[in-house]
Structure 1
Amino acid sequence: MNEIATRAAKGDQLGKKYATQEVNFTAFQTLYTLAQCTPDLSVSDCQTCLKTAITYLPNCCPGKQGGRVVFASCNVRYELYPFYRFTAQQLPPPPPPKPVLHSPPALESKGKNKNSSTTIIAIVLPVVVSVVIFAGGLICILTRKSKKYDAVEQENGNEITTMESLQFDFSTIEAATNRFSVDNKLGEGGFGPVYKGKLPNGQQIAVKRLAVSSSQGLEEYKNEVALLAKLQHRNLVRLLGFCLEGAEKLLVYEFVPNKSLNYFLFDLEKQGELTWTKRYMIIGGIARGILYLHEDSRLKIIHRDLKISNILLDKDMNPKISDFGMARILGVDQSKATTNRVVGTYGYMPLEYAMHGHFSIKSDVYSFGVIILEIITGKKSSNFQQSDEDEDLLSHVWKHWNNGTPLELLDPSLGNSYSRIEVIRCIHIGLLCVQEDPSQRPTMENRVLMLNSYTITLVAPQRPSTFLIPTTDSNFTANELVSYQSDPSKSIPWSVNQVSISDMDPR
């Protein structure tokens, strides 16, 4: 199977990531195998996806003559019958022609009629038997396939089907985490504790065990499973499976060794490990992950809970966006939506969402802007305390930007090891993202372009809206917020390139 996975990942001349192979299973049986990826995956991502799927085969189909593991972007299958269509290159050699039998001439009409009847029976009987066998086989295949999938529920009119191959037994997860031992505990979030585990095949995993009292209910749990099962991007945490047994609600993710960005950024001892080069790389990675959710995936997804603690870091400090329980899907032609249930975290939400329940891709853009400013300053948007004059992080950043002293915002742990142009540009982009008017916030496509190109000049930002923030991260209701009036007449007296042009859009 590993060999066929490699062939499928490389693809054929038409770019299709698909491969089949037949091998002699016994002296009388042939094993037919298939591996396939979606065309958007790279060779390495396709190979990783297929090899992960292959590791599930021993657990999903013990004692069966065939089996299949289906992921969002790849699948593998084996059977003892040719279940796939042969291509022109895979057509089996034609059988040798049957010898022509020459019957002796009939001597009378009775013998001729007898021979005709025998011939008709000889032709019709095999055809009837073949049809019966084919119908029986088709019924068996359809019956077995129907057992391999569980209908989960409909969300916003879209039927979401979760494959059996993503389901874990509770006993498997319990054994992997050493019965959820304290030694295996990685941390605890608002929805419950997270444990490190190890599957029988040696793969390390992270298991989120939702607490009974968790604010993430069954609907949010199913929402996260359904969304992440369809998404694959290097800057999104990968869902490996789930377990829903009785009161237990578990989510199984790839293990990300460096915990969250929150762990490094706001720890006085760990801050020094985040050099400016790493911080700039993390900002770019987060931007690409959000762009994938908004524009490049099969769905248009609004995360709605982007924050520092939901950004995980892999062994190379590449960021991975996590926690999709609050995410929502928008239609292809839909630009925004409204909810009566405002959920999220203080300091990361725009006023139109916090006060009126209006959310769109520009809501995530606002959260991204706050994250940029936190990464640069090393200060939390919530629990912000700088001076009596600065009520929140955005006011603090705007004051220095408006006074022409943006470099004074920089995290002191960076010392003098940073790029002045990159820092000022990132502050500029962060302020554009947190504009009060959603239409004045750039799209993620433009943000990624601005981060990757210095030739694009940025428009001057206006003063961002500000609001009172409590001293801890928490969910809130709209009437808890006190809004301040922004002053759109003020703008910065200087710009990086001394020129101002509008965002570039494709023709």
Structure 2
Amino acid sequence: MRVVRETKLFDLLILLSYFCLEFGTAIDTITTTKFINDPETLISNGGDFKLGFFSPTNSTYRYVGIWYAKVSASSVIWVANRNNPLKSLSGALTISEDGNLVVLDEQEKIIWSSNITGSVFNSSAQLLDSGNLVLQENNTGTIIWESFQHPADTLVPKMKLSTNVRTSKKVQLTSWTNQFDPSIGTFSVGIDVFNLPELSIWNGSSRYWRSGPWNSRVFIGIPSMNSVFLDGFSLIDDQEGTFYFSFAFSNESILSNFVLNAQGNIVQNYSNKGDNWEVGWVALETECDVYGMCGAFGICNSKSSPICNCLVGFEPKNIEEWNRGNWGSGCVRRTPLQCERLTTGGEEGKKDAFLELKMMKVPDLVDWSSAFEDKCRDQCLENCSCIAYAYDAGTGCMSWTRDLIDLQEFSIGGVDLYVRVANSELDRKEVDVKVVITITTIVGTLFLAICTFSLWRCMAKRKARKRKTREILSLNIEQAYAKFPGQSKLEDSMNQVRLQELPIFSFEELASATNSFHQTNKLGQGGFGPVYKGKLLHGQEIAVKRLSRSSGQGLEEFMNEVVVISKLQHRNLVRLLGGCVEGEEKMLIYEYMPNKSLDIFLFDPSKQELLDWTQRFQIIEGIGRGLLYLHRDSRLRIIHRDLKASNILLDEDLNPKISDFGMARIFGGNEDQANTNRVVGTYGYMSPEYAMGGRFSEKSDIFSFGVLLLEIVSGRRNTSFYHDEQAMSLLEFVWKMWNANKIAALVDPMISEPCFEMEVLRCIHVGLLCVQDFAKDRPTVSIAISMLKSEIVDLPRPKQPAFTATQIATDTASQCNKSGCSINNVTVTMVQGR
């Protein structure tokens, strides 16, 4: 008897354990045998979301929905039976016989279904911690339906809005009818693609609001979006016709979502976990945010009265309606364009001109081209159908051939827009301006007369000082060329012309701008000398490189930089603004880069997460474009010779700009390669033929580009291996992992997402091709860019790279012991990062 009782007790414990296990695993899951009845709920595994039955405020109807579990004032993010509510408390959510997720009423009639096609006989539904309700086939784990693909009015992190331009299939938000009724309302929001993707709110079939085009970081029609970039907005083109928009905040302690309310406005809500919701941003803040408020060729400014005005050269189409505040009919051109007059047989007059409008929301229906900024204007001017153009660094060249609709003037942000008008219209505007100027001039004549003499004397002194500066610079350039006899006479004459155009700053100006070169304004220290942040009187921020008096190599770097970069113009090269030579002071003035250099973001664990893969690939492309300009597209072929992460500066939008041309060399004529007895650069980035033999060419820069590419992908500094004598260099490590088929070990964990895997692997492959031992095996920069962009599909297998970092260090130490630190009779100068 005792044995029987013990056996029964054991069986009971097993049975209880089984039921406990079933209960524990079913807490976030619905199966054919585990379902919920009103008012039961499910909760996601991490406790962030609940799924169950609810009634909206002032309503007795019942709906199945998902809402936040940890926020005091919870809000519903998804509703199943939006248009078919339950009228009693007897509803159930379960899995039907054909495998669909269904809502049943009290008579077990299906009032809502997931509606998957084909029968699935073994399925279950699970509420995930993202708020996504997924229906999956249990045998394979395949997701066959998910609530994120059928959203209601709320966008939460990791949910994707999408549009397929080939099939017109869309995943978009739809508003509630009102706050008490979750049935589908009149407003919807999703991605529109007319050459460039943007977000749009629709009221029925009419557009109600638009975000402006996406420029790979932000929507340029939302000026405040720059301040929330780090919140992780993403718009991806899968190259197969589908565009995806999503967001994911880096600070997961803050809950946030975007809701399309019943009034057609997008509202961003945020909450610290457990607190009530607060509003962070709304799409429509003023009347000007309503689509086409001022009609065609009308410009809206919420701070002016009236808010609508016609563009210069245009007048209201219906003056009576316009005066009554009904601006929908818009404006029409007052004077025909010159190219239109020529087309209709009119007389030839002055060429059309462009009216510049600052800080604008660009119009709807944009055309896009790959033209660079300096060609964008000419391209529009040559096309009589083109009536406006704009250029944004992230978007490229935009132009318009249709009526300009939805123009808005911002107080911050926006893009400069150039509208084509008849030349006479600008003359008329200038006449109005001249009247104001004339009156102002008469009033101020007496004051100017008093000041003229003192100003004249000041200007004369300044002119003499600048003339003296140019003479010193010219003399130093001649001395610099004497040290580099390989430079052509053509280059000499060209650079003398450039020197005459270089703006000259006084020492007083720069001392004032940098607070007397105060330590708090110091940005860094390099072989050239210290670099300071400054601000000129008119507000422009600058970076000032001050030649260190103790620098033995600084003067040569200084003169070489003036010679090389004084007239280079490219969006991926840092821009030289001027120079200063007074007494022993020698300085170069550059545009200021607020995000400093790439290495600060790439190798600082606290900032690495700010560079997602999309941003890193954009940086790689930008560096490639800058290098292509130096090698092929500029008037002179230039070899940089010191390309590395610390010499890649980042502007406010994290766009890369190549800097530090103190070691660059100009190639003339058909010259492909040069030799030097003075090797300058940084170990780990120098190609073997340059480091060991003093030979440099375009392929030397390609080697550095390859090292830089591998650093960006891996998040590891090339010199980070040197602290351990037994450790290998980055190139050795990459090569070892490549041959062992362990590429995943190379990739920075911050960017290891499956959706980018092929693109990341391609970058590693291209990086290895760029660092091959022999220069002839390496691709040119144009081929490397084509490989990165998958324009060249089949890539050759890379040969073993040159492990120059450890090799040179070893060889150098050996030679130092024997012959005074020389390598093959080539002097090596190691310059550290700024």
Q: State the TM-score bracket (shorter-chain normalisation).
A: 0.5 to 0.7
- Percentage of pairs with the same residue: 51
Change (3 A) 1:477 1:322: farther
CA distance in 2, matches of 1:274, 1:364: 24
Specify the code of the residue in structure 1 equivalent to 2:604. Answer: D
TM-score (norm 1): 0.64
Residue identity in the other structure for 1:271? Q
Which residue pairs with 2:273 in the alignment? none
Give the structure 2 partner of residue 428 of structure 1: 765
Contact 1:342 1:478 in 2 (8 A): no
SS of the equivalent of 1:270 reads helix
Task: Report the counterpart of residue 437 of structure 1 in structure 2.
Answer: 774
Q: 1:229 to 1:388 in 2, by over 3 A?
A: closer
> Partners of 1:227 and 1:185 in 2: how far apart?
25
Could you tell me the TM-score, scaled by structure 2's length?
A: 0.40
2:542 aligned with 1:205: yes
State the 1:222 CA deviation: 1.2
Shift of 1:344: 0.6
Q: Which has the larger radius of gyration?
A: 2
Q: Is the 8 A contact 1:343 1:476 kept in 2?
A: no
Say whether the 8 Å CA contact 1:468–1:481 is kept in structure 2.
no
Query: Could you say which residue in structure 1 is the equivalent of 2:756?
Result: 419
Q: Tell me the equivalent position of 2:364.
A: none
Q: State the Cα deviation string for residues 370-413 of structure 1 (Å, max 9, x = none).
A: 00011111111113159876421100000011111112101123
Deviation at 1:426, TM superposition (A): 0.4
What is the CA deviation profile of residues 77-96 of structure 1, one whole-angstrom value per residue up to 9, with x for unaligned ones?
xxxxxxxxxxxxxxxxxxxx
Letter in 1 for 2:701: D
1:456 paired residue number: 793
* 1:295 paired residue number: 632
Counterparts in 2 of 1:329 and 1:417: CA distance versus 1, 3 Å: same
Cα separation, 1, equivalents of 2:813 and 2:560: 21
Give the C-alpha shift of residue 416 in structure 1: 3.0
Distance 2:533 2:541 in 1: 7
Partner deviation per Cα, 1:317-373 (whole Å, 9 max, x = no partner): 110000000000011300000000011101001111111100000000000000001
8 Å Cα contact 2:686/2:804 also seen in 1 = no
- Give, as a single letter, the amino acid of the residue that structure 2 aligns with 1:363: S
Name the residue aligned to 2:516: 179
Query: Could you tell me which of 217, 241, 250 is aligned with 2:578?
Result: 241
- Structure 1 Cα separation of the partners of residues 599 and 575 of structure 2: 19
* Equivalent in 560, 566, 583 of residue 223 of structure 1: 560
In 2, the alpha carbon distance for the partners of 1:164 and 1:304 equals: 26
Q: Indicate how the Cα distance of structure 1 residues 173 and 441 shifts in structure 2: closer, same or farther if over 3 A, else same.
A: same
Question: Which residue does 2:374 correspond to in 1?
Answer: 41
Query: What is the Cα deviation at residue 216 of structure 1?
Result: 3.4
Distance 1:468 1:281, change over 3 A: closer
Which has a greater percent of helix? 1
Amino acid at match of 1:282: I
For 1:257 and 1:318, the matched residues in 2 are separated by 11
351, 362, 365: which one aligns with 2:688: 351
Q: Which amino acid aligns with 1:421?
A: M
8 Å contact kept, 1:377–1:409: yes
Q: Residue 254 of structure 1 is aligned with which of 569, 591, 606?
A: 591
- Structure 2 unpaired stretches of 5+: 1-311, 313-337, 340-350, 354-371, 380-388, 391-463, 482-486, 825-834
TM-superposed CA distance for 1:219, in Å, is 2.4
Alignment of 1:214 with 2:556, yes or no, is: no
Q: Is the 8 A contact 1:383 1:471 kept in 2?
A: no
**Equivalent in the alignment of 1:107:** none
State how 1:381-420 maps to structure 2 within 5 Å.
Answer: 381-384=718-721, 390-416=727-753, 419-420=756-757
Structure-2 separation of matches of 1:173 and 1:324: 21
Counterpart amino acid of 2:374? L
Contact persistence 1:382–1:471 (CA under 8 A): no
Tell me the alpha carbon deviations over residues 291-340 of structure 1, each in whole angstroms, 9 at most, x when there is no partner: 00000000000000111100000111110000000000011300000000
Q: In structure 2, do the counterparts of structure 1 residues 471 and 460 end up closer, same or farther at CA, with 3 Å as the change threshold?
A: closer
Q: After superposing the two structures, state which structure 1 stretch, 383-392 or 170-179, moved more.
A: 383-392
- Deviation string for 1:12-47 (max 9, x for gaps)? 98xxxx999xxxxxxxxxxxxxxxxxx982357999
- In structure 2, which of residues 638, 645, 649 is the aligned counterpart of residue 308 of structure 1? 645
Kindly indicate whether the alpha-carbon contact (under 8 Å) linking 1:256 and 1:315 is maintained by their aligned counterparts in 2.
Answer: yes
User: What does the per-residue CA deviation read over 1:422-442, in whole Å, with 9 as the maximum and x for residues that have no partner?
Assistant: 110000000000011100000
Q: Is the 8 A contact 1:398 1:463 kept in 2?
A: yes
Structure 1 residue 210: deviation in Å?
1.8
Match of 1:272 in 2: 609
Amino acid at match of 1:41: D
Structure 1 residues 165 and 290, CA, compared in 2 at 3 Å: closer, same or farther?
Answer: closer
* Inter-partner Cα distance in structure 2 for 1:45 and 1:264: 37
Give distance in 2, aligned partners of 1:476 and 1:389: 16
Alpha carbons of structure 1 residues 388 and 218: separation in structure 2 relative to 1, 3 Å: closer
- Given that residues 365 and 433 in structure 1 are in contact (C-alpha distance below 8 angstroms), is that contact kept between their aligned partners in structure 2? yes
In structure 2, how many angstroms separate the alpha carbons of the residues matched to 1:220 and 1:262? Answer: 22
Amino acid at match of 1:328: R
Q: Distance in 2 between matches of 1:385 and 1:178?
A: 39
**C-alpha spacing 1:390/1:477, structure 2 compared with 1 (3 Å):** closer
Does the aligned pair in 1 maintain the 2:612–2:751 contact within 8 Å?
Answer: yes
Q: Which of 263, 269, 273 is the aligned partner of 2:600?
A: 263
In structure 1, the residue matched to 2:675 is: 338
Once the two structures are superposed, residues 236-260 of structure 1 have per-residue CA deviations (whole angstroms, 9 ceiling, x without a partner) of: 0000001111211111000111000
Larger RCO (CA under 8 A, 6+ residues apart):
1
Summarize the Cα distance change of 1:375–1:404 in structure 2 as closer, same or farther, 3 Å threshold: same
Cα RMSD for the two superposed structures: 3.6
1:503 matched residue in structure 2: none
- Structure 1 distance, partners of 2:592, 2:352, is 30
Mark the CA change 1:41 to 1:275 in structure 2 (over 3 Å): closer, same or farther.
Answer: same
